[in-house]
Chains A and B, each alone.
Chain A
Amino acid sequence: MCKDCGCTIAPHTHEHSHSHSHEEHPNPQLNDPKTIEVITKILDVNDTQAAHNREHFEKHGALAVNLMSSPGSGKTTLLEATIDHGGIKLGVIEGDLETNQDADRIKAKGAVAHQITTGQACHLDAHMVHDGLHHMPIDGLDVVFVENVGNLVCPASYDVGTHLNVVLLSVPEGDDKPAKYPVMFRAADVLLITKCDLLPYFDFDVEKAIKETRKLNPKVDVIEIDSKSGQGIDKWVSYLQMKKALR
């Protein structure tokens, strides 16, 4: 039972499956084999929880942002730079396989954070984020970030109940990643090309990366960022403020 909102969705009980069996009256003495049409999304339980998480964010007037990328693309560094820039009150739900290091980095900057350690799971799901929400005060925050587990595959399949998917692609990873990981780059509302200070040292073609991403995802917005010098952080913060204002 969720104290905060009185909801009854307990983590991972899977009781809220909304399968619609077409059998109205189950036969109590079922002996013969029978086939039923189910036609339910396999992630239905997750999606129901995700919708509930969104209600949480909305009740608190917070914009929720899902940050996804490969390991080490600069998600936590971007959040640090965002806090340093000022202008947004933010909190972070951190997802990692192990350690509290990322949450500690955020707290050291003076923002609230809660670490989820997933152990084996290579992605966050809506239940884990819901759990995280009840461990962190989100009242008064403008933006709640969910820093997903570093992984360009699995997190793309899970709606965690955020409003925006932000995908980071760092210069050292190469401009071929959008074409190689189509599901992730298709899920992006915003593409952040990070570590742009390293462009002189890598064969990374920014135009090509953008073109490839827009083949998959014609409406995606793009911001080029260097979290070390702060280049692009202004634009990023303005973008978040605009999105927050529209919620």
Chain B
Amino acid sequence: MHEFSIVQDLLYMCEKNAKDNSATKVTKVEVKIGKLSGVEPHLLQIAFDTFKEKTICDGAEFCIHHQDLVVRCTMCGKETILEKNTFACPHCDGAVEVLDGEDMYLMKLEME
């Protein structure tokens, strides 16, 4: 259950961006959560709703984009969304590099 720690980092980041933009209120927070980021989106939502009170994000809408695992094959070059956690190219069985789906990003902030 490190979703609570993650949300604290996220809230600090929102505060900082709001301050840099002379905003007093954040109304919407958009994040992108990778399928293999190790974070459970549902728990993240609960954590955000719990901790946002009395911060600059009080009342803010929280929008989670679920990011699939996108890989590129180092052999045939094709980009694929991996459905199963088998890290090989579905077309040629080549080794793949991960393009997206393993990280958590703050994407966009709406503020006023």
Considering the complex, which residues of chain A in the window 135-159 have a beta carbon less than 8 Å from any beta carbon of chain B? 153-154, 156-158
Asked if B13 and A183 make an inter-chain contact with CB atoms under 8 angstroms apart, the answer reads no
Which of the four size classes fits the interface of chain A?
A: 35 or more
Q: Does A228 contact B (CB under 8 A)?
A: no
How far, in Å, is A123 (CB) from chain B's closest CB? 5
- Is the C-beta of B81 less than 8 angstroms from some C-beta in chain A? no
- A157 contacts B105, CB within 8 Å? no
- Tell me, in angstroms, the Cα distance from A23 to B88 when the chains sit together: 40
Complex Cα–Cα for A31 and B2 (A): 36
Residues of A close to B86: CB separation below 8 A: 215-216
Are A41 and B17 neighbours in the complex by a CB distance under 8 Å? no
Please name all residues of chain B whose beta carbon is closer than 8 Å to the beta carbon of A215 when the two chains form the complex: 85-88
Known A40-B105, A123-B2: A30·B23 in contact at CB below 8 Å: yes
1/0 per position for A25-42, CB-CB distance to B under 8 A? 011111111111111111
In the complex, whether A208 has a CB less than 8 A from a CB of chain B is: no
Nearest Cβ in chain B — how far from A184, in angstroms? 8
Taking the closest CB of chain B, its distance from the CB of A236, in whole angstroms, is 25
Give which listed residue, B2, B88, B107, contacts A38 with CB less than 8 A.
B107
Q: Are B38 and A19 in contact (CB under 8 A)?
A: no
